Amino acid sequence: MKSPGILSRKRRAVRWAAPLAAGLLVLTGCGGSGSGGGGEAAADYPTETVEIMAPADPGGGYDMTARSIARSLTKGGVIESEAKVYNVPGASGTTGLTQFVSENAGNPHQLMVVGKILVGAIQQTDSQVTLENTTPIARLAAEYDAIAVPTDSKYKTLEDLMKDFKKNPGSVAWGGGSVGGVDQILVAKLAEAVGVKPGKINYIPYSGGGELTPAILSGDVDAAASGLAEFADQVAAGKMRLLAVSSEKPLDGVDAPTIKEAGYDVSIANWRGIVAPPEISDAQRDAIVAKIEKMHGTKEWKQTLESNNWEDYLMTGEKFADYIKAEDKDITGTLKDLGIIE
């Protein structure tokens, strides 16, 4: 029995023969005529059900974002047709990306949620398909990381922690999410800020908050980097203390300085956005962007941002495409410094 709300349909397996892989590498972000008649179809967009892929299992950040977009588009009155979500988990999002690009070229009614984690995953899995093979539509929301310690830790401030880290990098055990993910990238940037080579970081990856929280509270790690929401309950219960958050500016309701305020020129946002397939027309792309921008103004989307403590992070079209390229360059450099990729 399929989970409620997940689109039921048969998906053919994706097999990467060499000719297909070579063909995908030459796809452009927004060229081609697309399906449905270009400008005429774009004026009436959408003309059928909009399907949104979450390239992960139900319940995670990609899934929540996809379902929030679908709900805001329909309940917010942005589109009259249905918006359905389906999940394609695997390889940190690259399985879904491969399927999305190979099966949906030219179809403006297919959309996919992407994010910072996927940029790194593409590099780590040496994926033959990248975000350059999609049509960027919009960056929508962001979550920030935080540095946390147990309340009985000797580290009262981020400066206290960084002094020990700089003096003896291996003596500080850092906990966080998966290898090469946002959390490890944040710790790597902190290392660079104090002149520590990222390869010397004592970083211990955990699969999620369910594993990371006990590790912090038991002292298995000295400090941890993770999404701010992961620490909220423990901080409220007085069991953890936040040393800093990774936002550019102070966050309302968060009793902790930004990393920049603490004296280190580091910020990082775990952003999520949405893309369309390759080979849609410019007019179709612009029509999708217009619908997403309208969705951004709905009360449903504003409630989504507030209830999830997500930062409004809107950026659309070509600016978003340029942002993805900059992110790819930055993340690639960090992963090389960490020795995760060559």
| Tens digit of each residue's pLDDT (9 = 90 or more) over 279-299 | 999 999 999 999 999 999 999
Angle of helix 317-337 relative to helix 116-125, nearest 10 degrees? 50
Model pTM score: 0.83
| Dihedral sign for Cα atoms in the order 97, 100, 106, 109 | negative
Instruction: Tell me whether the omega of the peptide bond preceding residue 46 falls within 30 degrees of 0, making it cis.
Output: yes
Query: First vs last Cα of the chain: how many Å apart?
Result: 43
Least confident of 36-50, 122-136, 163-177, 296-310: 36-50
Percent share of the chain, pLDDT over 70:
87
- Which among 24, 4, 147 has a CA at the least distance from the CA of 85? 4
Q: Which CATH number fits domain 144-268: 3.40.50.720, 2.40.30.20, 3.30.70.890, 3.40.190.10?
A: 3.40.190.10
Domains 28-142+270-337 and 144-268 agree in fold: yes
Domains in the chain: boundaries: 28-142+270-337, 144-268
Q: Note whether 188 and 236 are within 8 A (CB).
A: no
Q: Answer yes or no: is pLDDT of 228 > 60.
A: yes
β-bridge mates for residue 296, sequence order: none
Distance (Å, rounded) from C-alpha 78 to C-alpha 86? Answer: 20
Distance (Å, rounded) from C-alpha 43 to C-alpha 214? Answer: 53
Q: What is the pLDDT of residue 43?
A: 64
Q: Which CATH number fits domain 28-142+270-337: 3.30.450.70, 3.40.190.150, 3.40.50.720, 3.10.450.50?
A: 3.40.190.150
